[in-house]
């Protein structure tokens, strides 16, 4: 059976997250703000930031959040030692740690299997690989809320049960590379479209929360389109793949996502939202949307070349 991973917003309405308290521990101000804005855009009501592990411990004591996002590398106390100190409080009471079982989501660049295992042994629940997308962040929130791991206290290990394998970089439908084309049926493609629609809506809310498309948002948009193209190709949704490719081509032609015109992104967002909301069988609409988007993008590319 095909497993379908969905974003938090699919099963948890923003109103359900309004009482959630999330602490983000990261010494990189841009990353911390982006994570915070993403969570607020998804409906999380209370988000605070700590610049290192020691400050995070102080905020854990004073604020007692429901979820902790922590970067791996931080000054003073890194994310790994912070996690260990939290879990140790389950067997040796620590007044700084009101909840030793708090879900810990580690933010990190790609690590070796050995390093990931060390983090698991420290008591990390889930991972978000940087650079991240709304899907990767929100799916981890969904996991710790809807599928909490049993908490284990033993002589050799204290922390969440490590037996469930987490998919740390993909949020679409799972399939084997050898699966025949007929496996990709309309139901699975529609489910994938719904997930893409949720991520697109989250991305637009992030931009609204931040008030503009800055460099970090532009880079995230580019990553989202790369992932959307990958997922669309996997389920053989050619129109969605083509629309994603158009924005990628535009960004590449302009010299990178940082040089994109926000107006082009808005045109693309509107086209993608129209396509995702329409029945998959409406090929006439899909082709019209694709044609109009292509024309608009080519026009903007031409303007960019003239300006250069």
Count, residues in the chain? 308
3-state secondary structure (DSSP) of residue 108: strand
| Radius of gyration of the chain measured on its C-alpha atoms | 21
Beta strand 67-71 pairing with 158-160: unpaired
So what's the pLDDT on residue 169? 40
- Contact of 105 with 140, CB cutoff 8 Å: yes
So what's the pLDDT on residue 16? 72
pLDDT in tens, the chain (308 residues): 334 344 444 445 555 788 999 999 999 999 999 999 999 988 899 999 999 999 999 999 999 999 999 999 999 999 999 999 999 999 999 999 999 999 999 999 877 888 989 999 999 999 999 988 888 898 899 889 988 899 999 999 999 998 754 443 444 444 444 444 444 467 778 878 888 888 888 888 888 888 888 889 999 999 999 989 998 998 888 989 999 998 898 899 889 999 888 888 898 999 999 998 888 888 899 889 988 888 887 777 777 666 55
So what's the pLDDT on residue 82? 98
pTM: 0.81
So what's the pLDDT on residue 296? 80
Alpha-carbon separation of residue 54 from 74, 88, 96 (angstroms): 10, 15, 10
In 3D space, the residue among 50, 37, 34, 16 whose CA is nearest the CA of residue 145 turns out to be 16
What is the rounded CA–CA span in Å between residue 55 and residue 23? 11
Residues 199, 204, 205, CA angle at the centre, nearest 5°?
95
């Amino acid at each position: 059976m095909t497993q379908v991973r969905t974003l938090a917003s699919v099963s948890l309405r923003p109103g359900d997250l309004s009482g959630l308290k999330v602490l983000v521990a990261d010494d990189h101000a841009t990353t911390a703000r982006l994570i915070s804005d993403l969570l607020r855009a998804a409906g999380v009501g209370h988000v605070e930031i700590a610049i290192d592990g020691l400050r995070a411990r102080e905020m854990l004591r004073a604020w007692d959040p429901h979820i902790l996002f922590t970067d791996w590398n931080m000054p003073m106390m890194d994310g790994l030692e912070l996690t260990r100190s939290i879990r140790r409080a389950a067997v040796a009471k620590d007044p700084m740690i009101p909840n030793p079982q708090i879900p810990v989501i580690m933010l990190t660049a790609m690590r070796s299997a050995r390093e990931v295992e060390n983090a698991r042994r420290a008591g990390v629940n889930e991972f978000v690989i940087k650079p991240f997308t709304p899907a990767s962040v929100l799916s981890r929130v969904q996991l710790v809320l809807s599928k909490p791991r049993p908490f284990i206290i033993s002589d050799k290990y204290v922390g969440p049960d490590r037996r469930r394998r987490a998919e740390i970089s993909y949020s679409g439908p799972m399939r084997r590379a050898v699966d025949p084309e007929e496996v990709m049926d309309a139901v699975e493609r529609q489910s994938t479209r719904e997930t893409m629609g949720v991520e697109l809506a989250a991305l637009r809310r992030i931009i609204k929360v931040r008030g503009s498309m800055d460099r970090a948002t532009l880079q995230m948009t580019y990553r989202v389109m790369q992932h959307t193209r990958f997922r669309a190709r996997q389920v053989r949704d050619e129109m969605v793949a083509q629309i994603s490719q158009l924005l990628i081509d535009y960004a590449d032609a302009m010299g990178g996502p940082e040089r994109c015109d926000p107006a082009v992104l808005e045109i693309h967002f509107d086209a993608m939202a129209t396509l995702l909301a329409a029945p998959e069988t409406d090929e006439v609409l899909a082709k019209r949307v694709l044609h109009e988007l292509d024309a608009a993008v080519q026009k903007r590319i031409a303007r960019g070349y003239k300006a250069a």
